[in-house]
């Protein structure tokens, strides 16, 4: 990808994606530039240039051979962007009735231009949601991110009753397929069996049997049903 990729995402989007990556890395605040490039679909040089800009602005710090970390100012900026993005997604799905597989890119674009007044109104109209349509937690207006403890489905042992916590993919086809199966955040199911050697998982959804490939099951984060609601 060339220079056009540099301008596809705003600095705030880079900060938000860096926060998201670190959020999934338990006890590891360092984000690699290669992971950031892959998540945003841009070239490594594009990330390097943007990281220099963000460092000069006081939003990130860089430690050689370890990666980048967000400063407190960078975290505040990231959380503001994440809150806007996820509330816009909820509004597009719940109020405007878009599919959950359709809204990520538009929420990125709209999140960069909507005012805080509009974001607050969206929150009111959707009853102050705690999660976006994909199950990701929504930061509070004062920048507090709820902590979610969940695990990839393909790492769980059979015989458990679980709830889908988050869906860790933006892939349109995967989201459509998971939606057709009824595997959305909040759905409670039983993990019946897991075939060896990365074979498929067998789920019981209210008496209906669903087989899910090992790789696809890895994008579903699950928790105990009582852990799904957020304080």
Distance, CA of 186 to CA of 166 (rounded, Å): 9
Report if residue 98 sits inside a domain: no
Q: What pLDDT does residue 8 have?
A: 67
Provide the number of structural domains found in the chain: 2
- d(CA 145, CA 66) in angstroms, rounded, equals 25
Contact 201, 194 (CB under 8 A): yes
End position of a domain, from candidates 47, 70, 93? 70
Q: Which domain holds residue 37?
A: 3-70
41-81 confidence digits (pLDDT tens) = 899 999 999 999 999 999 999 998 899 999 999 999 999 99
Let me know if residue 171 belongs to a domain: yes
Query: What average pLDDT is seen over the chain?
Result: 93
Q: Is residue 4 scored above 60 in pLDDT?
A: no
Model's pTM, two decimal places?
Answer: 0.88
Between 162 and 41, the more confident residue is 162
Q: Supply the CATH number for residue 40's domain.
A: 1.10.10.10
| Residue 113 lies inside a defined structural domain of this protein | no
In a domain, 103, yes or no: no
Residue 131 inside a domain? The answer is no
Query: Is residue 118 domain-resident?
Result: no
């Amino acid at each position: 990808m060339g220079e056009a990729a540099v301008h596809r995402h705003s600095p705030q989007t880079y900060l938000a994606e860096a926060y998201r990556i670190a959020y999934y890395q338990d006890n590891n605040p360092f984000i690699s530039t290669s992971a950031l490039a892959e998540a945003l679909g841009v070239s490594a040089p594009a990330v390097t240039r943007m990281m220099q800009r963000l460092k000069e602005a006081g939003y990130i710090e860089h430690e050689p051979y370890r990666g980048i970390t967000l400063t407190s100012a960078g975290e505040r900026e990231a959380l503001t962007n994440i809150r806007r993005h996820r509330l816009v997604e909820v509004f597009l799905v719940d109020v405007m009735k878009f599919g959950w597989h359709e809204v990520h890119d538009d929420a990125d674009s709209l999140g960069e231009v909507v005012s805080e007044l509009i974001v607050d109104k969206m929150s009111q109209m959707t009853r102050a949601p705690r999660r976006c349509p994909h199950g990701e937690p929504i930061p509070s207006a004062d920048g507090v991110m709820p902590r979610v403890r969940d695990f990839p489905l393909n790492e769980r042992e059979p015989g458990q009753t679980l709830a889908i916590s988050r869906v860790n993919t933006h892939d349109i086809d995967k989201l459509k397929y998971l939606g057709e199966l009824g595997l959305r955040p909040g759905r409670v199911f039983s993990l019946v069996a897991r075939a060896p050697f990365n074979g498929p998982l067998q789920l019981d959804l209210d008496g209906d049997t669903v087989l899910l490939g090992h790789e696809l099951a890895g994008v579903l984060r699950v928790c105990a049903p009582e852990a799904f609601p957020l304080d």
